[in-house]
Structure 1
């Protein structure tokens, strides 16, 4: 075979392209946005990939819950540690009755948030190997939501306790109420609105 008879290959330094048919269930990148060729549904965002199996969905949800739990646990543990140390400071004896009530309520809420956010780890450890991962994921998701509500209330009460010591009573309550409103908007109203919009678009 002469030099002119050899098949032309890609230029040096150019990555080779495989123009072979895609494997079954695969979704070419150029097909999105548009219609997902796997299931035929509309895919305007290009995020609709091959359908998950039940096992893959459970595993993905569990890993997501673990990541979320790590973030929430760090915050609640630092806050709860701070609350426990307040009772042993000299200024605690000078707190008024209202401030003491707020402090007790804050500690109880912080303990409840800590229990809810750590509970998924305990549940997983007790039920590991029992083929109940779907039930564990469902229970962990509900506990995470409960823990986030308790954590938001704990932060609000902590803020009220601190502001009530350094500011006039009414101003402290207004600021704490405004912060709690912002928490509600960021943590609950916005996610629910985005989910409702996604369902409407679908």
Structure 2
């Protein structure tokens, strides 16, 4: 049996915790994107959709594609973890999964914006629908990306690691 230093064990525990936290966060996002994806798919099979113009159909298709991209990106970390399980690649899996999660959330934000735009077009139409879509883009962009990115710039990675060490 190979002896593992206390520092290495602490590092491995931190990696395990980081991976578990990431997978928990992805479970929340996955549920929402899968429900949205199902909703978007069902729209194409309605009578009203058959009469939709090219603008609505194109917006719908783009929205479905972004929702599908979000599903792929937000579920990929589970596949990576499972395929690389016990291969000593946990740190790499976390790094890749984090990138997938961020891009997946961006795809989800676009899909949500497209969905709001589509609903606005069907219910109200015109410039109000476009304003609703633009408002949704600003809200998602601000809450999911701009604001956290600004907060992230206030800290350093070393500060974050020191905080984690104090918690252990």
TM-score, normalization: structure 1?
0.71
Which deviates the most, 148-157 or 178-187? 178-187
Partner of 2:110: 153
Which of the numbers 86, 93, 96 marks the counterpart of 2:43? 86
Larger relative CO (CA 8 A, sep 6+): 1 or 2?
2
Which deviates the most, 106-115 or 163-172? 163-172
1:63 matches 2:20: yes
Which of the numbers 92, 95, 104 marks the counterpart of 2:61? 104
1:168 matches 2:120: no
- Write 1 or 2 for the structure with the bigger share of helix: 2
Aligned residues: 151
1:49-69 per-position Cα deviation (integer Å, ceiling 9, x unaligned): xxx932122112101101101
SS of equivalent to 1:106: helix
- Runs of 5+ consecutive residues of structure 1 not aligned to the other structure: 1-51
1:194 matches 2:151: yes
Determine which structure has more spread, i.e. the larger CA radius of gyration.
1
Aligned structure 1 segments of 4 or more residues deviating by more than 6 angstroms: none
CA RMSD after TM alignment:
1.8
Partner of 1:113: 70
Q: CA deviation at 1:128?
A: 1.0
Partner of 1:180: 137
SS of equivalent to 1:53: helix
Q: CA deviation at 1:166?
A: 1.4
